[in-house]
Amino acid sequence: MGTAVLGAICGMLGSFAVLRKQSLLGDAISHAALPGIAIAFLITGVKDSNIFLLGALVSGLLGTFWIRSITKKTHLKSDTALGLTLSLFFGFGMLLLTFIQKQPNASQAGLDTYLFGQAATLLEKDVWLIAIVAGISLLILFIFWKEFKILLFDEDYTKTLGFNTRFIDVLITTFIVITIVLGLQTVGVILMSAMLLAPAAAARQWTNSLGIMVILAAIFGAFSGVVGTGISTVSGNLSTGPVIVLVAASIVLFSFIFSPNRGLLFREIRFRKNRNNIKMHKTLAFMYGIAKTHQNISHPHAIKILNGFQGFSKKSLQELVDLNYVKIDGQQWSMTQEGYQTAENLYDQQIKKSDE
Amino acid sequence: MNSAQIIIQIIIALVAIACAIPGTFLVLRKMSLISDAISHSILLGIVIGFFIVEDIASPLLIVLAALAGIVTVILVEYIQKTGLVKEDTAIGLVFPALFSIGVILIAKNANDVHLDIDSVMVGDLSFAPFDLLQINCIEGVPDSCINLGPKAIWVIGTILVITLTLLITFFKELKVSTFDAGLAAALGFSPIIMHYGLMTVSSITIVGAFDAVGPILVVALMIAPAATAYLMTKDLKKMLMLSCFLGVFAAISGYWLAHVLDASIAGSMTTVLAILFLLVYEPIITSALVSISIAIAFFFYQYYQELLVHGVNFEHLPLGEKIHTVFSKFILLDFIYCIGMAVSLAGFLIYILPKRGVIYGYYKVQQQKTEIMLLVFLLHIRNHEEESERHVKHLNEHINWQRLRSKTIVDLALKNNMVTIDDSIISLTDKGEEFTEKAIDYIITNKDAEIEEMKDDFFLFRG
């Protein structure tokens, strides 16, 4: 249940991250949250997931702003900034974790579940927390829908319209960070980025509209959460995070291949179709060239002369016959009136098209 | 320092250099995050290799791991080429998927063997010196091996030698293809070969460094020194040198930090790297923060020791309580002392920093003032034909300068052969004429293109 809600909210907010080309922000933030967790533990000395979340949130936000200021102030590119934040924060977190582990204190065990995540550790309380955050972000999403959308696609225009772009920006980033921090406990640091990305990337293949994309991404996310948790409980002994990610990845793969407009399969089919079409037209044009030299356009010719002509194949000839442009009689072919006219207009059409 | 410590330091220094070289190119090519992706997905290679040979130390593991890294790169490229998603999304999709497969494979099949995720993900150096490479062993005969020293040094050393050889051989090609892929292609080096060559080297380096520092910290070692160096210089050779140097510095000082804190070497190396980057990026704030934390840590340690000796029941307190108790020992003066130290350091830095410091700023302002004055002076001379206007004394009242200042300006102009003084009458030389002409042109048109040229001219006056 918790993973479903989490998947849904990840999908929703992930759509924004993907469209803003900040896909790997999730990865960076989830790593950056580690020192926050460690510091929260160091300060309080108790294992309370709420305090951990708070610490993670703070250091996650810190990481985000660090990334932003690095890309803004220096000539370092965003990928470097992301990589820096990710590795440096995580390294610092590692230092703190190993430091904590050396301390004579029994309650430190279990901090590393945050590295890989275990949905089984989710309590009812946590699910409620996730649900509440999901609700709030849904509400915000509705209220600021217009602003988010316009910021996404044309930032300068937004500015000229008088919106406070910085505020909107910070708002949406904050919600992404909150989601990531919540997700850490379930799927872990390393796989959180996939949680954010995969549903959105899959949804992107099916639609060009932002609204539908967000809804689809939410559905995909929830689906992979449920199925992943299901598989991991049934087969036992598997951590939930990787399974969820794999389910989400298969959805992405499926979308890549089968989506009607952008999918690879349909693209390949369209590509083949076009190629055959061109082949057929080429053959027709060649025939037209031959037929023109004769008084009677239906004068039969041997099929053999077509051999060696590029674009000619049995298939394209058959297609021409099917279209009733050409008649075949044994080893001879002859053009029909219809075929002659089509061929005559073939190049005219192309000229007209290029005029347009 | 015993020999094991020296060996560890040698190993991490080698790792740092081996990482810094490909890292520099990754940063320049805007592909830093590929290293992150590779470092995660080699897990899959290691796991598969482990299932084949059932031996954690086999070299096949390294080969397969490097192969997994290259497969990641190819997959990312392929997904990107379909045009369905952007490059970063492609990276973000590929490596978690491969990583998940690796984790699941481990969980499913390798429960009872010595291969757990933690050991793969964290990396440990402490035992590296004792893992010796021994050859020529005769079965059953003790002491028959020829001891070649720690294995890790050999592995990393080989990788480093290969990397360096490739770097020196193909430096020109790499440089061109990094900064101008189109030109490189036109000159006849295949950018694709360069790309995959670099990727292969990075992938092998990551795998080699993996044992020592763990995957995420490999990313830190690759990106952070290069990024820091990139902030400091724009020359590729200098950048390479600097990033190697920074890497080694962070490695050695990180080792000692780890020694003091009794924490993981990799973690403290990264922390040093972070501090280095911040120092270059935001010197004043960072140095203040660092000095505050060092001062607090110093006091903390003192009170901690004191409490350990005298404190009742102190050792059995939970960690948070402990920290709390120690801090409650702090008195106001301590905090004041810490902050005072930081403020004085920051203040000092504000003054002496090149480019951003106050002293430099003041110097620059003075410099510019003189330049402007000279310009005004020259323009004035040029505009007035009458001798009365060009008399030395007249300048004092007319342009409203103090005597001393006007004298320095005139001297400066004289020194640069801009003017000649005849009988206290100043007149422009040819050079001065030309310069003034140019300056006026510049002021009137004020186009960006001319600024650079003018700046060169102004250097005449400096010093």
Among A280-284, B83-87, B143-147, B249-253, the range of highest mean pLDDT? B249-253
A95 interfaces chain B, CB cutoff of 8 Å: yes
Instruction: Provide the residue ranges of all domains of chain A, joining segments of one domain with +.
Output: 2-262, 274-355
Look at A27 and B271 and tell me if their CB atoms are within 8 Å: no
Q: In chain B, what residues touch A236 (CB-CB under 8 Å)?
A: none
Average pLDDT over all residues of chain B: 74
Look at A201 and B89 and tell me if their CB atoms are within 8 Å: yes
Contacts of B139 (CB under 8 A, 6+ apart): none
User: What are B382-397's pLDDT values in tens digits?
Assistant: 777 666 666 666 666 6
**What number is the average pLDDT over the span B254-266?**
80
Residue B463 has pLDDT above 50, yes or no: no
User: What are B125-183's pLDDT values in tens digits?
Assistant: 555 555 555 555 555 555 555 555 667 777 788 888 888 888 888 888 888 888 887 88
Question: Do the interacting molecules here have an ipTM over 0.85?
Answer: no
Fold of A274-355: Arc Repressor Mutant, subunit A (1.10.10)
Look at B103 and A242 and tell me if their CB atoms are within 8 Å: yes
**What number is the average pLDDT over the span B442-454?**
56
**What number is the average pLDDT over the span B60-74?**
83
Burial B252-274 (b: 16+ CB within 10 A, else e): bbbbebbeebebbbbbbbbbbbb
Residue A301, beta-bridge partner list:
A333
Assign 3-class secondary structure to B355-399. CCCHHHHHHHHHHHHHHHHHHHHHHHHHHCCCCHHHEHHHHHHHH
Residue B97 has pLDDT above 50, yes or no: yes
**What number is the average pLDDT over the span A179-191?**
74
Q: In chain A, what residues touch B101 (CB-CB under 8 Å)?
A: 242, 246
What share of chain A in percent tops pLDDT 70? 79
Nearest by CB to residue B271, choosing from A91, A193, A194, is A91
Range name among A236-240, A275-279, B103-107, B137-141 with the lowest pLDDT average: B137-141
Give CA–CA dist A105/A44, Å, rounded.
13
A180 interfaces chain B, CB cutoff of 8 Å: no
Residue B462 has pLDDT above 50, yes or no: no
**What number is the average pLDDT over the span A262-290?**
78
A102 interfaces chain B, CB cutoff of 8 Å: yes
Q: Are A80 and B220 in contact (CB under 8 A)?
A: no
Range name among A113-122, A315-324, B69-78 with the lowest pLDDT average: A113-122
| pTM of the complete model beyond 0.90 | no
**Nearest residue to B167 (alpha-carbon basis) of B66, B102, B243, B223:** B243
**Nearest residue to B239 (alpha-carbon basis) of B225, B253, B229:** B229
The CA-atom distances, in angstroms, between A167 and each of A140, A164, B178, B193 are 13, 5, 37, 45
In angstroms, the separation between the Cα of residue B153 and the nearest Cα of chain A is 23
**What number is the average pLDDT over the span A62-84?**
83
Q: Are A148 and A168 in contact (CB under 8 A)?
A: yes
Look at A242 and B271 and tell me if their CB atoms are within 8 Å: no
The CATH number of A2-262 is 1.10.3470.10
CATH class of B360-458: mainly alpha
A239 interfaces chain B, CB cutoff of 8 Å: yes
A163 interfaces chain B, CB cutoff of 8 Å: no
Residue A232 has pLDDT above 80, yes or no: no
Q: In chain B, what residues touch A99 (CB-CB under 8 Å)?
A: 261-263
**Nearest residue to A287 (alpha-carbon basis) of A351, A336, A348, A350:** A336
What is the reported pLDDT for B329? 67
Q: In chain B, what residues touch A83 (CB-CB under 8 Å)?
A: 32-33, 35-36, 219, 223, 227
CATH class of B14-127+155-245: mainly alpha
Residue B273 has pLDDT above 70, yes or no: yes
Q: In chain B, what residues touch A201 (CB-CB under 8 Å)?
A: 84-85, 89, 93
Instruction: Provide the residue ranges of all domains of chain B, joining segments of one domain with +.
Output: 14-127+155-245, 288-352, 360-458
Residue B355 has pLDDT above 80, yes or no: no
Residue A229 has pLDDT above 60, yes or no: yes
Residue B459 has pLDDT above 50, yes or no: no
Residues 23-52 of A with CB under 8 A from B: 23-24, 26-27, 31, 41-46
